[in-house]
Structure 1
Amino acid sequence: MDLQFIGIDPNTGDGESPTVWVDREKEELVLQGWKPSLQLKAACAEFEIPGHAKGIPEHEAVIRIPARMTPMIREACDALERPDLR
């Protein structure tokens, strides 16, 4: 697996470490975040999107990432989309 570390939450403390990576081999963002509350998970599962079954499939997960990590997510997107940044 060809993981490239992009960044970690700048407010990381003990036991808290939302993180962003890029998997170059699969061309995917890899995100580590906080588990959602039961209320948030239930709210996400209630959305009905055309062409998509209601709920969260067993092989997927909802995670929470602080907005302050947006620049890292942009950087990860750029790393996947722009060959000159590889």
Structure 2
Amino acid sequence: MTLRFAGVDPNTGKDESPMVWVDDDRRELVLQGLKPDEELLTQIGTTEWVPGHRVGIPDHENVTRIPLRMAQIIRKALDDAERDGLL
């Protein structure tokens, strides 16, 4: 796996560091963020967002909170991946 660092939350503290990487081999974004709170998990677990899809979070998946202030970093990661022919 080849991870390429894209950026870190500009308002990060020493003990918190939401980050974004690009995995060149798997052609994926890798996001590190805050764990969801119970209220969010309850809302996800009880709402059918896409008709025909299972409600809730499958055991092999996870939810991560990423601050909106990181949008520019995520855009840069996507732009870099596109420039490199991954998209």
The TM-score with structure 1 as length reference comes to 0.90
Note the 1:32-43 alignment, pairs <5 A. Answer: 32-43=32-43
- How far off is 1:47 after superposition? 2.3
- What is the correspondence of 1:1-86 to structure 2 with a 5 Å cutoff? 1-48=1-48, 49-83=50-84
Q: Give the count of matched residue pairs.
A: 84
Percent sequence identity over matched residues?
55
Q: Which sections of structure 1, spanning at least 5 residues, go unmatched?
A: none
Q: Distance in 1 between matches of 2:57 and 2:8?
A: 26
Displacement, 1:17? 0.3
Which whole-Å deviations, capped at 9, do the CAs of 1:5-58 have from their partners, x for residues lacking one? 000011111210000000000000000000011011111122211231111001
Q: Helix, strand or coil: the match of 1:54?
A: coil
- 5+ residue gaps, structure 2, are none
How large is the RMSD of aligned CA atoms in angstroms? 1.3
